[in-house]
Amino acid sequence: MMRERLIVLVLAAGLACRAAGGARPLRIYCVYHAAHGLRAIGRDYRKRTGVGLELRLHCRERFHATARSLADGDLFLTTSPTLFAEAAKLGLLASEPQRIGCVTPIIAVTKGNPHKIQSLADLARNGLVVAYPSTCIGNVSLNVIAKNHLEADVRPHMTIRSGNRTGVLRPLVDGKAQAALTWSCAVIESGRKDIDIVPIPKAQNIIDPIHLAILKTTRDRAQAQALIDHLRTEPVRKRLRSFRLLEAQTDDAR
């Protein structure tokens, strides 16, 4: 009898440990350009809570493919207000989108800024070649140029459209371009130490918010909301700033 009770206690302890260490991860449909920072924050979150983050990446310009994937997720994170409007229209969201940060276009230059580029207008100088990505930030870059009525002056210099948000830095470091347009978070994601950032003033820029919403298909709404609350705490906001997914001068994310 005593032996049987001991076996039951050992089995119960084992199951409890397994449950504590094997909690179902939160599945997040996450836009590509926020994934680098979110993965790092997710590793810390798992150590703290035992709940991991499973990221399913999506392109913010291809909603219909994304929508088909949202049938079994917990959270939806993107930088496109249009995508959230479409998701809400399809009845996919269980909560209002909550802002946790932003992505900010910048001008990337090689270390030391040898061509002394200080503004978007400087990209119109004779002899300068500007690279921009073939992905969605490339379209955002074109919109930034259009917003500032620089199509006639700068657009002719944008002769290299290649790579994604980080790959566009390659023509810059190879000397094929003297400037590149991308998001500030992409420079951090690249890990490159030979790139400097030239900021674009807020009034001239197109800064997209990062929003996160709970999906109706979540299996644990309380856990999903707990993650959102965690992302809005000051220590995590500091981490988001370090990944340039929250800019102190443009976004209080509250």
pLDDT digits (tens, 9 = 90+) for 34-76: 999 999 999 999 999 999 999 988 777 665 555 666 667 899 9
Residue-level pLDDT at 70: 66
* Cα atoms found within 13 Å of the Cα of residue 197, Cβ hemisphere only: 17
Q: Could you give all domains of the chain from N- to C-terminal order, each with its CATH number?
A: 24-102+209-242 (3.40.190.10), 105-204 (3.40.190.10)
Rounded (10°) CA dihedral 207, 180, 36, 30: 50
What is the percent of the chain with per-residue pLDDT over 90, rounded to a whole number?
A: 70
Mean pLDDT for the stretch of residues 130-136: 91
The pTM assigned to this predicted structure is 0.83
Residue-level pLDDT at 26: 94
Q: Determine the Cα–Cα distance for residues 123 and 150; give it in Å rounded to an integer.
A: 9
Lowest mean pLDDT among 82-91, 170-179, 211-220: 82-91
Residue-level pLDDT at 81: 83
Asked whether the predicted pLDDT for residue 209 surpasses 80, the reply is yes
Top-confidence residue, 22 or 126: 126
Mean pLDDT for the stretch of residues 84-113: 92
Question: Phi, psi at residue 73, to the nearest 5°?
Answer: -100, 175
Question: How many CB atoms are closer than 10 A to CB 233?
Answer: 10
Residue-level pLDDT at 72: 78
**210 Cα distance to chain centroid:** 7
Query: Which of 182, 144, 184, 146 minimizes the C-alpha distance to 163?
Result: 182
What is the percent of the chain with per-residue pLDDT over 70, rounded to a whole number?
A: 84
**Among positive and negative, which fits the CA dihedral 130, 134, 137, 142?**
positive
Check if the beta carbon of residue 247 is closer than 8 Å to that of residue 184: yes
Asked whether the predicted pLDDT for residue 194 surpasses 50, the reply is yes
3-state DSSP call for residue 98?
Answer: strand
Mean pLDDT for the stretch of residues 18-25: 59
